[in-house]
Structures are given as structure tokens and as C-alpha cells.
Chain A
Amino acid sequence: MEKMKLKLLYSDLKSDIEVIEKELETALNSSSHFLNDASLHLLKAGGKRIRPVFVLLSAKFGHYDIEQMKKVAVSLELIHMASLVHDDVIDDSEMRRGRPTVKSQWNNRVAMYTGDFIFARALQYITDIDNPKAHEILSKTMVEICVGEVIQIEDKMQLDQNIRDYFRRIKRKTALLIASSCHLGAVVAGTDDQIASRLKRYGYYVGMSFQIIDDILDLTSTDKQLGKPAGSDLLQGNITLPVLLVRDDPAIRPLIEKALEGTITEDERQELLGKIRGSEAIKKAKKISDTYLQKALREVDALPQNSIKKSLRDIALYMGKRKF
């Protein structure tokens, strides 16, 4: 339902998104039966294809050529897919988007090779773009994302971390790839530097807002809505913004510590979720997300007149205001 709502926001791109969907299928084609099955499995699981959408929308500010842009869009989506396959190994996840993960259907090693295969395919695709700057942007992004994930593992269980650590982490975890999607779309379409930088900043702010909302929803949604226990981030040791904002409350901190130690009971988990939901932390976190959202909207306002601006604005609002 939510995915459909999002698709309506970029209905003008429908035919181009279909081109990308087909290209993703071609890209994941392999001579290995295992890799074919694993890749098909990933494609069927779908996804919002939000990175390709940002590439295409940003490219509309320059010389838009779908044959060129699909290479960038497919690469970014493949990199995202590869990182999900590897993340499922790190998080020991059995399910993703309601389907068994590659690691649970086969094993961790097959998941590693599947991710490596997809990642290499992404590089094959992007090299059809003969623009050194594009490669500089993408390679730097990939390294930064990895560094972000390393930091995330380092920061796990660290309840007394700085809030700045959280922002640094979500920047690398989520905002960077969205910012780079916008930036690459603009650069490859040959927009001027000012527009490209503005679109990059737009992507960054949308990404930050999106991730904060994601972290809020992990605590405020039901188990059924999430398809996993609410509060899973905390149970896995990931300290998110709402938790950082309530950690000093003496009525809540002991429960947070129990969740991190893995000794929390089901009743205590419900009690913890109830207390966090009733605290000011959720409101404060939403306000911070909204600040990023407003910054994103200001970047859109400053872009040259173009019918695409409405889509950029609507998508930002959708991502920053979504309820689930």
C-alpha cells in the first residue's frame, strides 16, 4: 500500500522505471544456477527503487537520456541490493520484506559470493559511463558506506555515545547513497555544478530525515506492521535517536540496559516500548527529522523552475512523514 502511494508520486517516470526493472533482471543474469536463483529471489522481493528514482529525477535538470541514466540507476540499485545481502549475514536475518534472506535460504558463504557478484555487476554497469567524476563520487560513497557500517558495529551497545555519533552513522548508513544518487544523476546528465551540489544536499537531507523516521517507526510500529519485534534495533544493540533522547530517564534506562544485555522479558519489552512512546523523545526525534525535511525542501525551492520540482518535494514529504 505504502509502496503504491510512493509510486504514484513519480508516475511520470513509470515507463523509465520499467526500463530499469528490466535492466536489473538482465544485470543479475548469471551462468551460475545458484546466483540466478538468489538474484531472482532478490528481484522478486521488490523494493521501492528509491535510488533509481532519485537518479532519474535529478537527471531531469540536465540532458536526460534514459539509455545513459539507466546505467547509473541500475548500478546504484545493485550496490544497495549487494549491501542488503551482506547486511543480512551481519545481522543474522532470516527474513527480509517477508521473504527468506539469501543467507537463510542457502548459507552465509553463498550470500557473500552473491553480494560480491552483484557488486561487481554494478561496477560493470557504471563503467559504461565514461565520466571520471562519476566514478570518483561512487567509489568514495561506497568506501564511506562501509566505514559507516564499521562504525555502527563499533558503536553497538554503547549507550553513552554522543548524539553526534548517531548522526555521523546515519549519514553514512543511509543519507550518503541517496545524496550520491541525486548527485550522480545530475553529474552524468551534465547539469551545472551548483545544481548538482544542490541536488546532492537535497538527497542528503532527505536521507537523514528518512533514517530518523525509520528509527522512530522501529519503536512506534506494531510487531505485525514491522514483520519483526518492535524495538529490534535496540535488541540488536543499535542505539537510535529516540533511545539517545530518553536514555537518562531513570524509569527507562534500566529497561534499555536489559534490552542491550539481552535479558529483557516480553512484558518488559512492552513496558519499555510503552514508556518510550509516551515520552517526549519521539516528538523531539520527529522534530529533528522535520528540520532535515525543511532543509531538503529549501534546496528544492532554490532549484531552477522545472516540473520535476513537485515530485522532489512530494517524495521528500512522503519519506519524511510516512507513518509506516
Chain B
Amino acid sequence: MNAANIDNKIQELQTNILMQLHHRTLLKYTGQPIVENETLFYLLLPFLNGEKWTNEQDEVATTIGMIYTALHAHDQIDEVDATSKGQQLTVLAGDFYSGMYYQMLSKIPNIALIRLLSGGVVDISEKKTAVYEPTIRPIADWLHTLTVIESKSIEQFMKHYHFDQYIPLMQQALVLNRLAYELRNLQQTHMQTRIVAAIEKSEQFTSTKRSAERILEDLVSELSSTLIRSISTSPFLQDEVKTLIISRMPTHTCEQLTTREG
């Protein structure tokens, strides 16, 4: 599959998700639901790499995209003041998108998958609240937290359809993306999100006292090397896909910033 076809496939999935989640009022006040391109790329990775792919997998991939969109909507809620019409409707947008993914899986019908994916949402929600707890944890714990938040539902999807070999690579890439996002955000706004503050505090476990920016730079650099190693040692990956993953790595891309938390 060449780069243009890959982009088309991601675009097609994105369009499907947006069609499923379309609601006139929500669109007017909360804007287009946020469906992250990188999430979709790694969700589709087995297909893009030429694995056998069914219509059901297409449908389930759409629902996974809907789950991320639902959870992402709730990340946009202000911690202190959510009284504007836009914020009120964003609360409802997240709930509406969740209802829609449940409805879509009910129609397939795939009850086992509903159970599996809702278990994943439980894990993600638990990890998202972890940043509000006063406990100081080692950096490894926070990296695990980010792995769950960023990749749990895709991991479940890949396990369910026996694409297990893609999981480590997908997780590394999505955590790397998140950390690179946090780094850019910190550099541009000079404001720490909760997760960055938590990571900075975890430095208490080490002898070196680095700034949040330095910690993030080091983590991004480490994870980039790990990802490149994983790509080069993955014989199942087609060369074209390897090149694409490398070209999408954060040092090569500059995404538009959207609020993220958790």
C-alpha cells in the first residue's frame, strides 16, 4: 500500500467516525469531534501493513475511534468553570459519543467486544484520575499510565483480532506522540499540565534534579530510539510502512495543539 492509499484509508475511517457522531447542535456549539490522525494510523496499522481485514474489523475500528473521541471530549472540560454553553454541550457530546459506540456494537451485535472495550474504558478512566492523586510515583508508573490512556482500546482491538505483534510498537509510538505533545505544549505555553507536573515530581526518586522540559526532552529522545530499534527489528513490517512510521515520528511532524489531559 502506498502513502496516498494509506492516507485515503485513514481519511475514510475518519469520515465514518464523523458520520456516526454527527449531531447538528453539538456540531454548532462544540465543533467537529476530535479524531486524532495518529490514533487512527496505529489503529489501522495491521491493515496498512497488508494483514487480512474484514468489514467487521472496519466497523469495530470505527467504534474504537468513537471511544477515543468520546473520552477526548471530556478532556476538554475545564477543571473549574464549565458553565458556558459550549462546555455544557461538550459534556453531553462525550456522553452522546459513548452512547453511539455502544449502539453501534449492539447492532453488529458483538456483546463480548462491548464487555472488553468497556473494561478498557474503566482502566483508562482510572488512569486519568491518577494524576489528581497526591501520591508521588516513579516515572515508569507514569509511562505506564500514559500507555493505558493512549493505547488501551487499540491494544484490546489488536489482541481480539490476533494482531498481537503490533502492540509494543503501537504503544511506544503513541506514548512518544503524547510526550512530544506535552513537550511542545510546555515550550509554547510555559504551563505544565497535570501529567507533566506529576512526572516532574517523580524526579524525587532520582538523584538528578532536572526541569520538566529536560525530563520530557530526555524521555522523547529515549522513546524515539526505542521506537526506531523496534521498527528495525520487526521483520513483519513492510519497508514502506517502516518508512511511514519514521516519517510520522514527532521530530518530523508538527501537529496542531489541542487540549489534552489525564
Contacts and interface: CB of A to CB of B under 8 A. Distances in A.
Interface of A: 30-35, 83, 86, 89-90, 92, 106-110, 112-117, 119-121, 123-124, 127-128, 130, 132, 135-136, 138-140, 142-143, 145-147, 149-151, 153-154
Interface of B: 23, 25-26, 70-71, 74-75, 77-83, 85, 88-89, 91-92, 94-96, 98-100, 102-103, 105-107, 109, 111-112, 114-115, 118-119, 121-122, 124-130, 132-133, 135, 261-262
A139 B99 contact: yes
Sort A-B residue pairs by CB-CB distance and give the 4 closest, nearest first.
A123-B118, A120-B121, A127-B115, A117-B125
Nearest to A132: B109
22 contacts: A31-B126, A34-B132, A89-B82, A89-B91, A90-B88, A109-B132, A110-B132, A113-B262, A115-B95, A116-B98, A116-B121, A117-B125, A120-B122, A123-B102, A123-B121, A127-B115, A132-B109, A140-B103, A149-B95, A150-B23, A150-B92, A150-B96
Given A32-B130, A112-B94, A147-B96, A153 B74 contact: no
A119 B118 CA distance: 9
Contacts of A114: 125, 129
B71 A130 contact: no
A152 B122 CA distance: 29
Nearest to A149: B92
A115 B121 CA distance: 11
B125 A113 contact: yes
A35 B126 contact: yes
B132 A106 contact: yes
Contact of B125 (A33, A108, A116): A116
Given A31-B126, A123-B115, A139-B103, A112 B92 contact: no
A107 B80 contact: yes
Contacts of B71: 116
B126 A30 contact: yes
Interface residue SS majority, chain A: helix
Contacts of A139: 99, 102-103, 106
B25 A120 contact: no
Contact of B114 (A108, A123, A140): A123
A222 B11 CA distance: 57
Given A132-B109, A135-B109, A33 B95 contact: no
Contacts of A132: 106, 109, 111
B99 A146 contact: yes
B81 to A, nearest CB: 8
Given A107-B80, A120-B119, A146 B103 contact: no
Contact of A146 (B83, B95, B112): B95
Nearest to B67: A120
A124 B119 contact: yes
A263 B67 CA distance: 42
Contacts of B91: 86, 89-90, 112
A112 B96 contact: no
Contacts of B102: 123, 135, 138-139, 142
Contact of B74 (A107, A116, A150): A116
A119 B98 contact: yes
A86 B77 CA distance: 11
Contacts of B121: 116-117, 119-120, 123
Contacts of A120: 118-119, 121-122, 125
A44 B132 CA distance: 22
A146 B78 CA distance: 20
Most central of A33, A92, A139 by chain B CB within 10 Å: A139
